């Protein structure tokens, strides 16, 4: 029972390193580029699902945007009127701005920051589980960050059904909330999202794939 409680603990423990310090160091060492390559196959599918059937112009936001590569993919879409990214790692944002000086990249810590305007589309790859309380943050996204009729796509590699990811938090000494597919799905439901679909993409031997969750904020609530 003790072991179970320890494994399912989602609150950060004392003495852990902040994820944004770690990833700022990764950007300084060029490791953001390897991460971009490693995430591309899953993000291709996430963007496809986010943009599927889109016919009207849209605004978009990437949460935990790292060096900004997904923001640049979104802003390259012909219907995108504005794309922005937020990340708390100073060197990630510095890199994003260096590559794309005209881009909209914000250095800010979540969940404390709020965008000036709600957006139509939200993308977030491998970021939300670094927050102390990822599930309540979903309600903030629904209520404040997203316009009615908006769409959200979340990608996570660290989740209960992907056992090979379980030791990442302890090995990097960084807080990572370990949630199950059911917990993410219920969290989205409780936040008010509808049409929630979860799939695991890119699964192979010893790897359960990226958990990709899509959801809508309904027009009428
Ligand atoms: C695993 S990286 C993924 C980066 C990017 N989404 C990608 O796929 O290349 C996680 C990112 O989330 C950011 N992050 C983690 N916790 C954060 C927080 N509390 N506030 C803002 N950014 C955070 C980190 O700085 C890091 O750049």
| Atom of ligand 1 at shortest range from CA of 36 | 9
Quote the CATH superfamily of domain 25-216.
Answer: Vaccinia Virus protein VP39 (3.40.50.150)
Instruction: Ligand 1, residue 130: give the atom nearest the CA.
Output: 16
Give me the residue spans of the domains in the chain.
25-216
169-173 average pLDDT score: 95
Please tell me the distance between residue 129's alpha carbon and the centre of ligand 1 in angstroms: 10
For the chain, the average pLDDT equals 94
- Pick from 37, 34, 7, 38: which is nearest to 207 by CA? 38
CA of 189 to the centre of ligand 1 (A): 24
Determine the atom of ligand 1 nearest the C-alpha atom of 43. 8
Query: Rounded CA gap, 212 and 202, in Å?
Result: 10
Ligand 1 interacting residues, C-beta cut-off 6 A: 19-20, 23, 35-36, 39, 64-66, 87-89, 92, 109-110, 125-127, 130-131
Query: Residue with structure tokens 């959200």?
Result: 152
Q: Apex CA 125: angle with CA 147 and CA 115, to 5°?
A: 35
pLDDT 10s digits, 187-220: 999 999 999 999 999 999 999 999 999 999 999 7
Tokens of residue 149, six digits: 């009729």
Please tell me the pTM assigned to this model: 0.94
Q: What is the pLDDT, as a whole number, of residue 14?
A: 66
Q: What is the largest CA-CA distance in the chain?
A: 53
């Amino acid at each position: 029972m003790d072991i179970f409680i320890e494994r399912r603990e989602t609150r950060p423990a004392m003495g852990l390193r902040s994820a944004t310090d770690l990833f700022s160091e990764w950007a300084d060492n060029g490791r953001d580029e390897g991460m971009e390559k490693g995430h591309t196959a899953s993000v291709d599918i996430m963007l496809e699902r986010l943009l599927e059937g889109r016919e009207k112009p849209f605004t978009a936001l990437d949460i935990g945007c790292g060096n900004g590569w997904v923001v640049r993919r979104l802003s390259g879409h012909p219907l995108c009127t504005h794309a922005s990214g937020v990340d708390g790692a100073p060197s990630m944002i510095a890199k994003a701005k260096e590559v794309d000086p005209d881009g909209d990249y914000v250095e800010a810590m979540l969940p404390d920051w709020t965008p000036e305007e709600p957006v139509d589309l939200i993308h977030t790859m491998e970021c939300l589980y670094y927050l102390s309380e990822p599930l309540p943050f979903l309600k903030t996204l629904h209520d404040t960050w997203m316009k009615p009729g908006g769409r959200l796509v979340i990608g996570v590699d660290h989740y209960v059904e992907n056992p090979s990811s379980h030791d990442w938090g302890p090995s990097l000494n960084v807080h990572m909330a370990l949630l199950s597919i059911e917990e993410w799905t219920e969290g989205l439901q409780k936040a008010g999202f509808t049409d929630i679909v979860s799939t695991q993409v890119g699964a192979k031997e010893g790897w359960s794939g990226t958990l990709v969750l899509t959801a809508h904020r309904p027009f009428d609530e």
